[in-house]
Amino acid sequence: MGPDQLRWWFDDYLDAVNRHDLEAVRELLAPDVRRQGRPRGADAWLEDAAALLAAFPDVQWKRIRLVVEEDRIAAHLRARGTHRGAFLGVPATGRHVNWAEFGFFRIAGGRATEYAGALDGADLLEQLRG
């Protein structure tokens, strides 16, 4: 995939995530996608996503910066949502929160085959705990 196709792939991914359409997300993941520090595979990815969506049912992500190089995508995102379910050991608070995320994807055959990323967990916990 060329740079434009990788940008379009990410646009499709972000659209699917913001619609909370986990089956559409599955179509963009390799079945055995590797994730840094997380269980391998699309099923595990989607289980984690479902848990996040249960905790923040209105969560939406906004792209801040996207960098494409060879077969890789680096994305800086900003997420916001309302804490409606337990997350990181904190029961639902009803607080509106936002956090930064950084994701690095390797794409092959139109699917993510590797992912490494981070979110500002300390800032998010501080917001949840008030």
pTM to 2 decimal places: 0.94
Q: DSSP letters of 32-43? A: EEEETTS--SHH
Residue 130 confidence class, pLDDT cut points 50, 70, 90? confident
Q: What is the pLDDT of residues 12-69, one digit of tens each?
A: 999 999 999 999 999 999 999 999 999 999 999 999 999 999 999 999 999 999 999 9
Give me the pLDDT at residue 5, please: 97
What does the pLDDT average to over 65-82?
A: 98
**Based on the structure, what is the number of domains in the chain?**
1
Structure token pair of residue 65? 């910066």
State pLDDT tens for residues 87-129. 989 999 999 999 999 999 999 999 999 999 999 888 999 999 9
Q: What is the CATH number of the domain that holds 52?
A: 3.10.450.50
Rounded Cα distance between 93 and 86, Å, is 9
Q: Which domain holds residue 85?
A: 3-129
